[in-house]
Amino acid sequence: MERDIQTIFKSQKENSSKVAQMSVKDRMERVMRIDNYLKSDKNLSSLYEALYNDLRKPEVEVIATEVGVVQTQISHLKKNLHKWDRDHRVPTPLPLLGTRSYIRYEPRGVVLILSPWNFPLNLSLVPLVYAIAAGNTVILKPSEISSHTSAYLKKMISELFRLDEVAVVEGDASVATRLLEMPFDHIFFTGSPRVGKIVMGKAAEHLSSVTLELGGKSPAIIDETANIPQIARRLAWAKSVNCGQTCVTPDYVIIHESKKREFIEEFRSAIIELYNRSGSGTEKSPDYCRIISRYHFRRLHSLYQDAVGKGAKLLIGGNFEEEDFFISPTLLENISEDMHIMHEEIFGPLLPVISYNDRSDVREIIGRHPNPLMLYIASREKKNIRYFMDGNPAGGTVINDYMLGYSNPNLPFGGVSNSGIGKSLGFHCFMEFSNKRSVIHRKWGSLDMIYPPYNDRVLWM
């Protein structure tokens, strides 16, 4: 493996200046190989199988949250890459009269993408298409935990690209560690803040630049003016899709005390409507995913047991079936800060509900945790929306809905401090994979007036 990694890295390094000089048309042709691959019925059915085996993902979700997301980004690239790739003129200040200044976006070189298991196709291919579009060579290491989808990615990429352009290296943390020993020109990591710190530490050894797309505890505030039936239904879906294993899933709810009972009842009805219409249980729904692994099942079970053991009250759900990695959508109240569930990202279908009476308490509760990836606000009162946004930094905010943070390629997506560094999607992602070279081109005139000998000259600047 060690030798393989070195050989691939070396071949990409040698090839990188050739790849960097490719025209926009040639880069787009490479991106479209991925698009076309995903359109073939045969390839799509192998993907359904891989994602079913990894997460029991329903086909509709494979399209909506994996393939569809990649295709949306590719369409966005198709429309915009030629504009982004041009030199970007900037204004010239008076003392530089006679010059022209512009920014030239250039490929970084050889880049590494490390991706997680929760949306294993989407979170590998979205950065990949931007890295290719920006003119880089790429080594992608998908997660060993979603092993079926990782094998699918390896097969796909080896059919579409030469190893010295794009390569997939499968393996666990030890393989990632080997990769991180290489002097990459950029590392794009999606995963936990814990591993993000390791990646940044390793990147520092080569001064490789990094994009860190991390997670954290994203709160969902619901104030006294919110439309409760509507928001409870939206939240029930957001917390259940992919079985709550989504970086933008609301982690916990902070709701105005006056609306708590109504919210709980509406959430209960929504879960029944979405996953249990037949009355035979959420576990029988073909639309409900499973927890990725025994490790994560047990982690979630112990968060639940710890909370209940310390006085949390079970309101909805609480069903755990280890042989099937099934956990039902679960609502808990009477939450206190000494519970582990309030100290780590839950990343599963457990939802603690905390109530407040005074909106200043909300800031205080959120302020106990590092800055989140998303801050959700459900409210019909402008002043409250502003109040909650102003006091609480977050990577992004969605108002009166959930999950949408990752859906508009015109908006930057990413965290702030503990939830991430750098942004992905659209132009922002293209920039992550590009060096912004500043160019000043003198057309006429000169700076002779400031050359020595200075004598008694005093500059007015």
Residues that bind ligand NAD (CB under 6 A): 114-118, 123, 141, 143-144, 172-173, 176-177, 190-192, 195, 198-199, 213-215, 247, 345, 347, 373, 415, 420
**In angstroms, what is the minimal distance from the CB of 191 to ligand NAD?**
3
- Dihedral of CA atoms 335, 117, 295, 220 in degrees, nearest 10, equals 0
CB-based contact 185:12 (threshold 8 Å): no
Task: Decide if 323 is catalytic.
Answer: no
Q: Minimum distance from CB of 142 to ligand NAD (Å)?
A: 6
Q: DSSP letters of 97-165? A: TTEEEEEEEEE-SEEEEE--SSSTTHHHHHHHHHHHHTT-EEEEE--SSSHHHHHHHHHHHHHHS-TTT
Q: Report in angstroms how near the CB of residue 401 gets to ligand NAD at its nearest.
A: 18
**Which is catalytic among the residues 61, 66, 165, 213?**
213
* C-beta of 116 vs 329, nearer to ligand NAD: 116
Min dist CB 437 to ligand NAD, Å, is 28
| Closest to ligand NAD by CB, 164 or 213 | 213
**Radius of gyration for the alpha carbons in the chain, expressed in angstroms and rounded:** 25
Residue 256 to residue 347: CA distance in whole angstroms: 24
Q: State the amino acid at position 266 in one-letter form.
A: E
* Minimum distance, C-beta of residue 179 to ligand NAD, in the bound complex (Å): 8
* Residue 65 identity: T
Q: Which of 374, 341, 335, 340 is nearest to 221 (CA)?
A: 374
Cis status of the peptide bond prior to 329, with omega within 30 of 0 = no
Pick between residue 58 and residue 420 the one whose CB is nearest to ligand NAD: 420
123/133 with CB nearer ligand NAD? 123
Contact, 96 vs 440, CB < 8 A?
Answer: yes
Residue closer to ligand NAD, measured from CB, 180 or 312: 180
Residues marked active site are found at: 213
